[in-house]
Copies of this chain bind each other. A is one copy, B any other.
Amino acid sequence: MLKIFDNINIIGFDADDTLWKNEPHYRKTEKELCYLLQNYLPADKVSEILFQTEMANLKLLGYGAKSFILSLIETAIKISGEKISASEIQKIINLGKSLIDQPIDLLPDVENVLTSLYNHYKLIIITKGDLLDQETKLAKSGLKKYFHHIEIVSDKNSKVYSEILRKLNINPIEFLMVGNSLKSDILPITNIGAFGIYIPYHTTWQHEVVSESNDKQNSYLHVDKISKIVDLLI
């Protein structure tokens, strides 16, 4: 075990793209929107306007699948100059519903890692998105049994993490967060004196991307796959 983890008693895991595949499903749905709108604009432009629409909707609608569906619809209306038909909008809603209604693909070695850590640490999940959608994914994943506590939040920043740790009586120096988003899982945690293990995933939503090299203020461990954390922690 690494000496820096001597104090760690509780490990928080992000869920989407840390425990199971998520972002690739969103990007697939985005591609289907691009295909539907190909007569109006090239795919890269559609993606750009979709992202702008999501950002414009973020404050009011928040993160998660249902906001995403509403942004898909608004993007299609905008790009088509209000010419898109009702049946095509229904198609977009159906794409969004399939996005929510799909099976869970656990990432490689996740279950082994949780089994190994389970007897040595208290494990919790901290994930953001739609409440019901995240609960359903967790239920489908079969991973619930490994976790002492599940926290679904509307955003992940230092204030939110502080509140969760306070509520659960966790001292930041005994807390480690594992996740694929530097912006949401690692930096806000290191800012409050806890430790982070960053495991990048091959697909990251543009909104979650921050450059590692810009960060000179924080220490965290960058690991290329989740299977590696067991040897670091036990």
A residues near B (Cβ < 8 Å) are 60-64, 66-67, 69-70, 73-74, 76-77, 80, 82-87, 89-90, 93, 97, 100-101, 130-133, 135, 149, 152-155, 167
Contacts and interface: CB of A to CB of B under 8 A. Distances in A.
B60 A101 contact: yes
A72 to B, nearest CB: 11
SS class, residues of chain A in contact with chain B: helix
B86 A90 contact: no
The 7 closest A-B pairs by CB, nearest first: A62-B132, A66-B66, A132-B154, A82-B86, A82-B87, A131-B154, A77-B86
A97 to B, nearest CB: 6
B67 A93 contact: no
Nearest to A135: B154
A9 to B, nearest CB: 19
A89 B75 CA distance: 12
A131 B61 CA distance: 10
Contacts of A152: 131
Contact of A86 (B64, B66, B89): B89
B60 A74 contact: no
A83 B86 contact: yes
Contact of A131 (B74, B84, B93, B131): B131
B74 A82 contact: no
Nearest to A168: B167
Contacts of A80: 86
A73 B74 CA distance: 12
A60 B154 contact: no
A89 B73 contact: yes
A77 B74 CA distance: 15
A77 B91 CA distance: 11
